Structure 1
Amino acid sequence: MASPPRFRCNNNYCGHLPKRALIGLLAGALAISAEAGSRLQHHMLAADDADTFLPAVHREQDLYLEAFYGETTTRLIVHAQLRDNRLFVIAGDLQEIGLQLPEEDPTGWIALDSLPGLAYRYDVPTQSLVLHAPPSLRQGQHLGYRPPPPVEVRRDHGLLFSYDFYGRHWQGRSNTSLGTSLNWFGDYGSLQISGVSRSGDEDIGYRRLDSYWTYSDPQQLWTWTAGDLISGGHSWSRPVRMAGLQWRRNFGVRPDLITLPVPRFDGSAALPSTVELYVNNILQYDNAVDSGPFVLDALPRIGGAGMATLVVTDALGRTTETSAPLYVDHRRLAPGLSDFSLEAGVLRTDFEGGWNDYGEHPVASASWLQGVTGAFTFEAHAELAEELGVTGIGGVWSPGGRWGLASASLAYSDGQAPGENDKSGHQYSLGYQWIGPVVGFDLQTLRRSRGYRDLADMDTDRTLTERWLNAQDRATVWLQMGRGSFGYSYLRRRDHRAPFLPREFFSTHSLSWTQNIGRRLSVSAALFKDDENGSGGSLTFSVPLQHLAYLSVGVQRRSDGNNEPRALLRRTAPYDGGWGWWLQGGDIDGDYGQAAVETRGRYMEARAGLDWDRDEHGYFLEAGGSVAVMDRQLIASRRIHDAFALVYTGVEDIPILSENRLYGHTDDKGYLLIPDLRGWQRNRIGIDPDQLAANFLVNELEQFAIPADHAGQFVVFPVAQMQPAIITLLDQSGRAVDAGSGATLYQENSSRAVPVGFDGEVYLEDISGGARIEVRQRERVCNYTISPIAEPATVFTRLRLSPQDCMEAP
């Protein structure tokens, strides 16, 4: 006879119970309990002779138990086994309910009494497992921000043409310019060509600006570019225009990814609790947490210094608060995150002069950023060209993650410029920034020796008239004052010219003040003093009006001591479409003024106006828009700056929603172009069912469009226009058939039963394809034929039909 299991009982519950009492308890309740505690050094066997009385209990039992932590359910079921007085649970189930285990096979069995510090109880009537685990055994609950998975971008094929036109007539002369860009996009990225045409005083015909191919990968967070490009760099290096190949990190393809260090808050809850995070006394995060340790990663929506307070309120209403200072900036990278830019090619020179000149010798550039810790980010930069090499390192550091942001860099160049004696040089920069809730300041300094050169200098002729930066100091201070602010800025610079010319520092001081008075009035004032341009100031009063209009009146004092009054009254054109206008006037050595109107429509944006200055008069015209080619359609739109969607329903005048707002209705072919989508993001597009008539069938009311940047996506909503009908069926005598009669609908090679209502009425969703109804009534079968109506006068069609033929029911 098999021996029954021996039962483990905690000393606090069982003690040394007599055998008779224990046997009576087991026979009366048929309960099996097991509990282990860290305080037990051994386990007392409560029933040595249980096999005599319980011969039917097997040595091993499979159990499926609901897991609890104390009185709180995990809402999970664990697979357990009872073996020889010991309770075993699958390791994967223990990990799923939040226990921290050593490296174990998820399919293996773990004895609960082998986990130090774990107390448990198996409750038979409720088939539950109640656990009491110390924090060291609990997995940390991750709250707040988690890096989202990359979006799945759909790359549809298409062509996008954009244009900007400007024309002006002044003093008897007319000038026009037209900027254009042509962009092909598809599976292999996009190919873009842009240029400008001018006529009049600067008649240049057509001049190409940029042409390049680019491809971005949101999975790897990088972008390839071939053609005209701008090199990468840091705040202490200078980017240059090049033609060649570039490989760079592009966090823009993951706008939902937080790249700066996210502050982490650790805590533990003895009971189920609510966790709240306040930053500068503003609630930033609020969520529930189970008992046990937790980790909160939350990005405070501030810039600069702040005070974070973590408030944990348990189920009994007890509250604990923990405060810590922090500093948030966008120059540091999260630990382990890197940013880079590598490019090689030839320099593009004299771009600002409008010439398409390229260098003859190859050049290369490389930049790197690495988030080393949450407080420090490392920077490196290198440039290489014929007879020139540049290397530099730098970094940004937030002491303690709370005391502002310090930055430093050091760069060295080796290479002699034509006409220069120095073969090498150096550059260094230092900076410190502190942004607080009330006061902030920014200090920066940069020094360059005369022999220092980089790629940007290869397009510069250092003559007596050429001025290039040798030293710069900048200090900025700002102060928040109630509903206003005050700022001061100081800039000192030195332009290094020929060695025999004096090296002079030039400085600029500026003061600014803004203040909101009452509910509408805003006042701003500014003063400046410059060693080269003199001094001056301005005072402006602004008042917002109704219907997107505002009024601005002010005066400006120029460096020559003259005062310039000016006024502006403007109504901005609504973003969704409409008209706007402005009137502007003032006095600069005589009266001047301008009057203009603007419109923002579905197909373009335009503005036109008149202006005058003393005795001269003129007029101007501006217009801009885009034309997209997709699905063999040519559709005009307002200016598309990023991404767009072409919606197709196949039916005219269907209301289309963009981010739950009505954008427009489809045209006579069923198309609508939405120009304001965000690349690499989920854009909600749908159909407004509240404005649909009852005769439309829509299988899908909402979709998410995820296009690449500067590309489009084709979004299809199948919409079918039906002909619903209420049909009154008459018998051969002209009376309505009885309600509840058996009727079968034959339509499109299928059949189904339809109910017959009072007055012989039958409702059909669609009769556009015709139908046949067979009705059984009083031992007769009658057939009714329904023909489609070419142009129904109303949404619902009402018909009265007599039977086409009737026969005796078989």
Structure 2
Amino acid sequence: MLGSGLVLAEELPPPPTEVAAIADATLYLELLVNQMPKTELVAVQQRAGRLYLNSEVLRTAGVSLPGNPQGELALDAIAGLHADYDSQNQRLHLQVPPAWLPDQQVGERNLYSATEARSSFGALFNYDLYLNDSDDAGSYLAAWNELRLFDSWGTFSSTGQWRQAFNGAPSGETHQGFLRYDTSWRFTDEQRLLTYEAGDLVTGALPWSSSVRVGGLRLSRDFAIRPDLVTYPLPAFAGEAAVPTSLDLFINGYKASTSELQPGPYTLTNVPFINGAGEAVVVTTDALGRQVSTTLPFYVTSSLLQKGLVDYSMSAGSLRRDYGVRDFAYGPGVASASLRYGVSDSFTLESHAESAESLMLGGLGGNMRLGNLGVLNAALAQSQFEGDNGHQVALGYQYNSQRIGFSYQRLQRYGSYADLTRVDSQDLQLSQRSEQVTFSLNLNQYGNIGAGYFDVRAGDGTRTRLLNFSYSKPMWGSSSLYLSANRELGDSQWAVQAQLVIPFDLHGTLAMALERSQQGERLQRVNYSRAVPVGGGVGYNLGYAAGSERDAYRQADVTWRLQSVQLQAGVYGSSGEMTRWADASGSLVWMDAGLFAANRIDDAFVLVSTDGYADVPVRYENQEVGRTDAGGHLLVPYSSGYYRGKYEIDPMDLPPDILATEVEQRVAVRRGSGYLLEFPLRRVLAASVELVDANRQVLTLGSHVTHVETGSQAVVGWDGLVYLENLAPHNSLQVELAGGGQCRVAFDLPEAQGSIPLIGPLECK
């Protein structure tokens, strides 16, 4: 019988598996795809030991199956998919190829988020007064000025100069009195990245074309409106992650970013702060610590446009004549247009056209990235001027890396080629040819070597060829050595220079130089200078030069920068030919019904207002730039248009009863305009009140206090003290005692300001 029992046991079927133990059931399981959990439980059908899942559930989980099957699917029948049912933790683990999962874009193509630029109504007057007095040429006074009006409708600007000679100075050589330079209006459409201009302006141009001054209209694409936008193509590093992975990006050996990846294909698009050739190393690390390192070379150049981007400029008007000599002088009508289009991330198309009554010009060119080997540029232009034809050919190549820089540019003109610069200047001759080659080599701690060759054949046939070599090397501390040699070919003499610069941490910078000119003259120079501190102060410059064939040359000047003006004075020259000069420059701004003085404002500015509170410290980009005046204003003159700057106030010196609801703001200002940035400050009517009962004992800790007039509530603290805000001159309090019962008390707020008063003890009845 025992033997029979053994035989019978061997004939039994195998025990059921974990999945087969439960038949025809609906399981609600946590779904994990390539070790990444999904948020919701999913319904899994189990029949005859097989697991079934609806195709819509897989699509919701981000799994794209080949062939896109529909309906209920048997998981074990899908090739490439592995399913594992964890009954103990009620989980369903799916492992799929990474290509079935969604693509991931890691990183941002923009430097930071776009910010709406602002402008307030106001006026600005820039001035620069310059007085010059020479021993041999008399004296003169020149006053340059710029008037600006700005608001949401744009910016109106007009520039000019007033000049007056006296003290024996010849008055017929230069214009006397007032001379107008430019008058224009500009408006920027930030949504369309367009700038509209009217008045005196400069036409747009490409590297192989020319610009001219006209009085007229201009429409142009303006990418400067969006400093966060990167317009040139950036490298993209692609790959796949089978499981959750950490990704580190190294650019030229420096860690650029760290990202967390979900399973699936990914594209890394972080902005590399580099121009030229580089090397990226992508390191992925999974949950078990396994690392995979991939090296990817790339080439970045700002001369290209991203695919699909368009940059253009169109101008029309009358040519400006005798600029800087006459106020209003305009010539024939002309038109000019330039266009750049990103055909692909490797090729940018360029075109340019010009027209006048006597001129027609058209040209086509482009920039092409040669993989990681640099950028090739070429252009061909054809012109017809007064019946004569001509053409221009431009060709160039650039390559830059951490160690090597090389550039070659050649421009050749044939026949009677002409452009708008010749329309109103018949005697002007364009150069026949220009060629330049530059080379640089970075030797790291051993310095930098540079070389250049320049060859220009002028319109009259004369030829100039220059050869230049340079070497620079950092020395001890922050000092540096600079050597240079240049020569005009055809001349047997070299001009050489050796300069040693030694900065001092507190007192300035010393520079010593030895020179020999092409004429063989030897010259020794010594210069000692101290830069003006950014926040204001005094800077100076002292120089002395002595040569074998000239009198000793001396110069000295001092600069005093105040918050409202910059003053300068100096002297230079040799014995008997000394020149003395003085300069005062700054700006006057009318805004918020007030007049404010500041240093010269070349672009945008911000007027900070603190609601009339004086002596409040103001910081710009974490640096203190001054304190508000008696009217609660401070003008911050240095700000780049459309840059999102950070402005802060420090309320620590304000009286305790003054509340600052906002102490930091980021704002971008339209180019050439100003903005009134308000930091609201208000006085808080508050007091600390000591409450006692009829026995002069402090009220119980934790009693609830209600301010009858406003309904605000507070709690009695230690020693019967309660702090109350938003009080009125006369106040009533109702108290719910912690031990039960109620009482009331009334009091008047003292008129004293600057501190929070302590009132009491008050008897609560």
2:109 to 128, 131, 146: 146
Q: Is the 8 A contact 2:98 2:263 kept in 1?
A: no
- Higher mean displacement: 382-391 or 177-186: 177-186
Count of aligned residue pairs for this structure pair: 734
2:451 aligns with: 488
- Post-superposition Cα deviations, 1:707-752, rounded to whole Å, max 9, x if no partner, equal 211122222222123354333345667x3533338564536x3134
Partner deviation per Cα, 1:211-244 (whole Å, 9 max, x = no partner) = 1121222322221112211111211101111121
Residue matched to 1:428: 393
Q: Distance in 2 between matches of 1:657 and 1:305?
A: 39
Deviation at residue 644 of structure 1 after TM alignment? 1.8
Q: 1:78 to 1:141 in 2, by over 3 A?
A: farther
CA drift of 1:596 comes to 2.2
- CA distance 1:495–1:146, shift in 2 (3 Å): closer
Give 2:562's match in structure 1, choosing from 601, 604, 610. 601
Write out aligned runs for 1:287-326 (5 A): 287-326=259-298
Letter in 1 for 2:192: Q
% identity of equivalent residues: 31
Q: State the distance in 1 between where 2:634 and 2:209 align.
A: 45
Compute the TM-score of the two structures, normalised by the length of structure 1.
0.83
8 Å contact kept, 1:745–1:771: no
Q: Residues 387 and 203 of structure 1: is their aligned pair in 2 closer, same or farther, counting only changes over 3 Å?
A: closer
Cα distance, 1:66–1:150 mapped onto 2, change above 3 Å: farther
* Residue-by-residue CA offset, 1:311-364 (whole Å, 9 max, x unaligned): 22323232323223322221111122221111111211232545532113x211
Aligned residues of 1:485 and 1:514 also touching (Cα < 8 A):
yes
Distance 2:292 2:122 in 1: 58
Per the alignment, residue 156 of structure 1 pairs with 120
Q: Is residue 88 of structure 1 aligned with residue 60 of structure 2?
A: no
The aligned counterpart of 1:773 is 733
Partner residue of 1:222?
194
* Residues 459-517 of structure 1: CA deviation (Å, up to 9, x unaligned): 3232xxx55311111111112223311111111111122xxxxx342211111111112
Measure the CA separation in 1 of the matches of 2:490 and 2:188: 46
Amino acid at match of 2:354: E
| Closer, same or farther: CA 578–782 of 1 in aligned 2, 3 Å | same
SS at match of 1:256: coil
Q: 1:406 to 1:203 in 2, by over 3 A?
A: closer
Partners in 2 of 1:752 and 1:481 — Cα distance? Answer: 72
Match of 2:6 in 1: none
Letter in 1 for 2:401: G
1:591 matched to 2:548: no
**Alignment-derived partner of residue 406 in structure 1:** 376
Residue of structure 1 in register with 2:758 after alignment: 798
**1:7 paired residue number:** none
**Partner-residue secondary structure (3-state), 1:456:** helix
**Aligned residue runs from structure 1 range 85-484, under 5 A:** 86-88=52-54, 90=56, 94=59, 97-100=61-64, 117-120=80-83, 130-147=93-110, 150-171=114-135, 173-200=138-165, 201=171, 202=174, 204-353=176-325, 355-360=327-332, 362-399=333-370, 401-416=371-386, 423-462=388-427, 468-483=430-445, 484=447
Say whether the 8 Å CA contact 1:78–1:89 is kept in structure 2: no
CA distance in 2, matches of 1:622, 1:124: 86
**Cα deviation code 1:357-399 (max 9, x no counterpart):** 2113x21111111112222211111111112110111111122
- Asked if the contact 1:369–1:377 (Cα under 8 Å) also holds between the matched residues in 2, the reply is yes
Cα deviations by residue, 1:157-194 (Å, 9 ceiling, x for unpaired): 22222222222222273222222222222222222222
CA 1:267–1:205: 2 relative to 1, 3 Å: same
Distance 1:279 1:753 in 2: 58
Q: Amino acid of the residue matched to residue 556 of structure 2?
A: A
Q: Distance in 2 between matches of 1:703 and 1:83?
A: 59
8 A contact 1:699–1:718 mirrored in 2: yes
Does residue 721 of structure 2 align to residue 755 of structure 1? no
Query: Which residue number in structure 2 is paired with residue 676 of structure 1?
Result: 638
- CA shift, 1:689, in A, is 5.0
In 2, the alpha carbon distance for the partners of 1:656 and 1:109 equals 65
Q: 2 CA distance for matches of 1:79 and 1:23?
A: 17
1:77 aligns with 2:40: yes
Q: Is the 8 A contact 1:595 1:610 kept in 2?
A: yes
Q: Is the 8 A contact 2:734 2:742 kept in 1?
A: no
User: How far apart in 2 are the matches of 1:311 and 1:446?
Assistant: 45
In the superposition, relative to structure 1, how do residues 456 and 765 fare at CA in structure 2: closer, same or farther (>3 Å)? same
8 A contact 2:52–2:72 mirrored in 1: no
1:86-115 residue CA offsets vs partner (Å, 9 max, x unmatched):
433657x945x54447999xxx98868698
Deviation of 1:574 after TM superposition, in Å, equals 0.9
Conserved 8 A contact 1:743-1:773: no
Checking the alignment, whether the CA contact within 8 Å between 1:774 and 1:783 is kept in structure 2 is: yes
Given that 1:81 and 1:89 are in contact with CA atoms closer than 8 Å, whether structure 2 keeps it comes out as no
Alignment TM-score, normalising by the size of structure 2: 0.87
Other structure's SS at 1:136 match: helix
Does the 8 Å CA contact 1:768/1:788 hold for their aligned counterparts? no
- Structure 1 unaligned runs (5+)? 1-15, 27-46, 417-421, 498-502
**Does structure 1 retain, via aligned residues, the 8 Å contact 2:276–2:301?**
yes
Classify 1:67/1:81 alpha carbon distance in 2 versus 1 (closer, same or farther; 3 Å).
closer
Q: Secondary structure at the match of 2:477?
A: coil
Q: How far off its partner does 1:765 sit?
A: 4.1
Contact 1:429 1:447 in 2 (8 A): yes
Alpha-carbon separation, structure 1, partners of 2:605 and 2:249: 38
**Corresponding position of 2:602:** 641
Paired position in structure 2 for 1:739:
700
Equivalence for 2:574: 613
1:297 partner amino acid: T
Please tell me whether residue 565 in structure 1 is matched to residue 524 in structure 2.
yes
Change (3 A) 1:24 1:209: closer
Q: What amino acid maps onto 1:526 in structure 2?
A: S
Distance 1:732 1:535 in 2: 103
Worse-superposed segment, 80-89 or 622-631: 80-89
Shift of 1:773: 3.5
C-alpha contact (below 8 Å) 1:725/1:766 kept by paired residues:
no
Question: Which one scores higher on RCO, CA 8 angstroms, separation ≥ 6?
Answer: 2
How far does residue 446 in structure 1 lie from its aligned partner after superposition?
A: 1.1
- The Cα shift of 1:146 comes to 2.9
Give the whole-Å Cα distance in 2 for the aligned partners of 1:100 and 1:365. Answer: 53
Taking the TM superposition and a 5 Å limit, the aligned residue runs for 1:620-659 are: 620-650=581-611, 651-659=613-621
After superposition, the C-alpha distances for 1:525-576 in whole angstroms (9 at most, x for unaligned) are 2112125997422211100101362111112222332222222111111112
Seen in structure 2, the aligned counterparts of structure 1 residues 693 and 129 have a Cα distance that, compared at 3 Å, is: farther
Q: Is the 8 A contact 2:179 2:325 kept in 1?
A: no
Match of 2:99, SS? helix
SS in 2 for 1:496: coil
* Other-structure match for 2:499: 540
